[in-house]
């Protein structure tokens, strides 16, 4: 029996550069990038401030999601704004609209794969802290407070909110909003989550369990806890610039947003005459199990994942026209990644990192960067890697620093995430 082929038929980016693929690509071509200052306050007191690729002008009401669905979700959330959920809903809707995928919402085999690190967790924690402070201020001194009274008060206030933090609830709420009834999976594999999810969705399509899948993920990054965590470890670029493979690389810059990709069985896509952006031809994955923040620079697992992606795709390294690396702007990680690229591809294959355009979207970074890579493939153009004027030539890779028009047929997306989650996936034109 002939193996099924899997193609990309819909793209749904929600990021600082816009809410649709056309706007995203236009701003990348024009290098129209702007970072905004984010002020973090706790109980009206300024705690910290940082630069980020921040979404502005987002309104969930503008995406054409059925009003009754939005009302139901609003009632379920008791009026709370859940930016993780709203961003995810918008990304899925944009991707579905882009794909033109029509389906019976009461009975279908469309899968849902989410790749998010910990949706809703940080606003929840900040809410508890603020409520506890208000409770002590209005009722007790710390010395006389009863732990049971405090716990009961916070439990009553946050029990429903806390229940919604279970990751299956995000799958449930999105599937209910769009009427999805196929295979579902939640993936939280750090920065490589999106690549793991794409491959998992592809395997289910190839097995015949589903005929289409929505892969969605991202991160609401403009929060207190995430910034302080990265800043305290010296991993945040306070100047607001990610500088991949640069001598003066000094850390990451957050990028707000969510993304969604529609994967589909090729035969089904052809029957309905869908626009096909690319074919997903295979991936490779590994787990180092070494350190959380830094890669195992003497290890082989990243290279193993890349080689497995090429093998599973039946693609030779010389056939790759563009490499999109993790390109995180942390010097030790850049060095590790550049060595893997040079060892496998040599120093001729073009390399361009996309985080300088949209920021680091953490658990959603691989998805938004895959969308940009697929758009590059479609448009036969390699976007320049920004902020790399002081490129470290010791890396021995062909880093593209000026946008190039070039015929592209086959591209690879790489990710070496925190805690040693490594992934590589290959896309090619049909």
Q: Is residue 116 part of a domain?
A: yes
Residues 164 and 154: their CA atoms lie apart, in Å, by: 16
Domain-embedded: residue 263: yes
Q: How far apart are CA 371 and CA 11, in angstroms?
A: 7
Residue 279's alpha-carbon distances to 8, 53, 198, 215, in angstroms, are 6, 30, 12, 15
Asked whether residue 133 is assigned to any structural domain, the reply reads yes
Say if residue 103 is in the same domain as residue 234: yes
Q: Residue 96 corresponds to which tokens in the numbers above? A: 């579905």
What pLDDT shows up at residue 1? 63
Phi/psi at 363 (5° precision): -65, -15
Q: Which of 133, 164, 195 is the last residue of a domain?
A: 164
For residue 306, the number of C-alpha atoms closer than 13 Å in the C-beta half-sphere is 26
State whether 391 and 248 are in the same domain: yes
Provide the number of structural domains found in the chain.
2
Q: Are residues 277 and 131 in the same domain?
A: no
Same domain as 152, residue 102? no
**408 is written with which tokens?**
């592209």
Q: Per-residue confidence of the chain (430 residues) as pLDDT tens digits?
A: 678 999 999 999 999 999 999 999 999 999 999 999 999 877 778 888 999 999 999 999 999 999 999 999 999 998 888 999 999 999 999 999 999 999 999 999 999 999 988 888 888 888 888 888 788 777 755 566 677 888 888 888 888 888 888 999 999 999 999 999 999 999 999 999 999 999 999 999 999 999 999 999 999 888 888 888 999 999 999 999 999 999 999 999 999 999 999 999 999 999 999 999 999 999 999 999 999 988 988 889 999 999 999 999 999 999 999 999 999 999 999 999 999 999 999 999 999 999 999 999 999 999 999 999 999 999 999 999 999 999 999 999 999 999 999 999 999 999 999 999 999 999 999 9
The DSSP secondary-structure symbol of 291 reads -
Kindly state whether residues 160 and 36 are assigned to the same domain.
no
In a domain, 392, yes or no: yes
Residue that finishes a domain, picked among 164, 191, 218: 164
User: Are residues 115 and 39 part of one domain?
Assistant: yes
pLDDT of residue 252: 96
DSSP 4: P
214 and 196 in one domain? yes
Report the alpha-carbon distance of residue 78 to residue 175 in Å, rounded.
20
Regarding whether 128 and 65 lie in a shared domain, the answer is no
386: three-class secondary structure by DSSP: coil
Provide the CATH number for the domain around residue 384. 3.40.47.10
Residue 142 has a pLDDT of 56
pLDDT computed for residue 134 by the predictor: 82
Per-residue confidence (pLDDT) for residue 141, from 0 to 100: 59
128 shares its domain with 235: no
Give which of 331, 242, 252, 254 is closest to 295, Cα–Cα. Answer: 331
Give every strand in the sheet of 184-187, ordered side by side: 184-187, 110-116, 212-219, 257-265, 6-15, 278-287, 421-428, 410-416, 322-324, 350-351, 398-399
CB contact burial 24-58 (16+ within 10 A = b; e otherwise): bbebbeeeebebeebebeeeeeeeeebbbbbbeeb
Whether 144 maps to a domain, the answer reads yes
Of residues 12, 115, 114, the one with CA closest to residue 371? 12
Closest among 416, 401, 410 to 376, alpha carbons compared:
410
The verdict on residue 64 lying in a domain is yes
Q: Which domain holds residue 142?
A: 123-164
Answer yes or no: is 266 within a domain. yes
Q: What are the DSSP calls for 87-134, one per residue?
A: HHHHHHHHHHHHHT----TTS--EEEEEEESSTTHHHHHHHHHHHHHH
- Cβ atoms of 215 and 367 closer than 8 Å: yes
Residue 365 to residue 362: CA distance in whole angstroms? 5
Let me know: does 95 contact 197? Beta carbons within 8 Å: no
Q: Are residues 178 and 286 in the same domain?
A: yes
Domain ends where: 132, 164, 196? 164
Dihedral (CA of 188, 189, 192, 198) sign:
negative
In sign, the C-alpha dihedral spanning 152, 154, 158, 162 is negative
Domain match, 101 and 144 both? no
Q: Specify if 1 maps to a domain.
A: no
d(CA 418, CA 248): 21
Could you give the CA distance from residue 111 to residue 186 in angstroms, rounded to a whole number? 11
Same domain, 78 and 142: no
Residues in the chain, how many? 430
């Amino acid at each position: 029996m002939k193996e099924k082929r899997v193609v990309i038929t819909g793209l749904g980016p929600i990021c600082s550069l816009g809410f649709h693929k056309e706007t995203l690509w236009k701003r990348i071509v024009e290098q129209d990038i702007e970072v905004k200052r984010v002020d973090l306050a706790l109980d009206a007191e300024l705690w910290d401030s940082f630069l980020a690729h921040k979404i502005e002008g987002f309104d969930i009401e503008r995406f054409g999601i059925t009003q009754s669905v939005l009302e139901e979700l609003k009632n379920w959330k008791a009026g709370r704004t859940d930016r993780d959920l709203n961003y995810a809903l918008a990304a899925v809707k944009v991707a579905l609209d882009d794909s033109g995928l029509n389906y019976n919402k009461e009975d279908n085999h469309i899968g849902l794969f989410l790749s998010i690190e910990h949706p809703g967790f940080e606003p929840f924690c900040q809410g508890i802290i603020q409520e506890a402070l208000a409770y002590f201020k209005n009722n007790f001194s710390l010395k006389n407070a009863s732990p049971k009274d405090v716990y009961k008060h916070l439990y009553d206030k946050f029990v429903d909110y806390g229940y919604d933090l279970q990751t299956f609830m995000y799958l449930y709420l999105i599937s209910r909003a769009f009427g999805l009834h196929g295979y579902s999976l939640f993936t939280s594999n750090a920065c490589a989550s999106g690549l793991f999810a794409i491959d998992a969705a592809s395997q289910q399509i190839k097995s015949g369990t589903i005929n289409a899948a929505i892969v969605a993920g991202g991160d609401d990054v403009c929060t207190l806890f995430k910034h302080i965590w990265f800043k305290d470890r010296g991993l945040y670029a306070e100047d607001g610039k990610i500088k991949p493979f640069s001598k003066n690389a000094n850390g990451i810059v957050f990028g707000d947003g969510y993304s969604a990709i529609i994967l589909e069985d090729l035969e089904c896509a052809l029957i309905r005459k869908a626009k096909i952006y690319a074919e997903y031809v295979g991936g490779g994955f590994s787990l180092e199990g070494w350190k959380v923040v830094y890669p195992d620079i003497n290890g082989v697992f990243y290279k193993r994942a890349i080689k497995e992606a090429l093998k599973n795709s039946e693609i030779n390294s010389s056939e790759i026209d563009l490499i999109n690396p993790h390109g995180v702007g942390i010097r030790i990680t850049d060095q590790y990644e550049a060595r893997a690229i040079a060892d496998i591809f040599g120093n001729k294959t073009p390399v361009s990192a996309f985080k300088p355009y949209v920021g680091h979207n953490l658990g959603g970074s691989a998805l938004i960067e895959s969308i940009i890579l697929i758009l590059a493939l479609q448009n036969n153009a390699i976007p320049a890697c920004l902020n790399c004027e002081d490129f470290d030539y010791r890396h021995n890779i062909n880093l593209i620093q000026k946008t190039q028009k070039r015929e592209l047929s086959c591209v690879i997306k790489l990710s070496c995430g925190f805690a040693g989650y490594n992934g590589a996936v290959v896309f090619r034109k049909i």
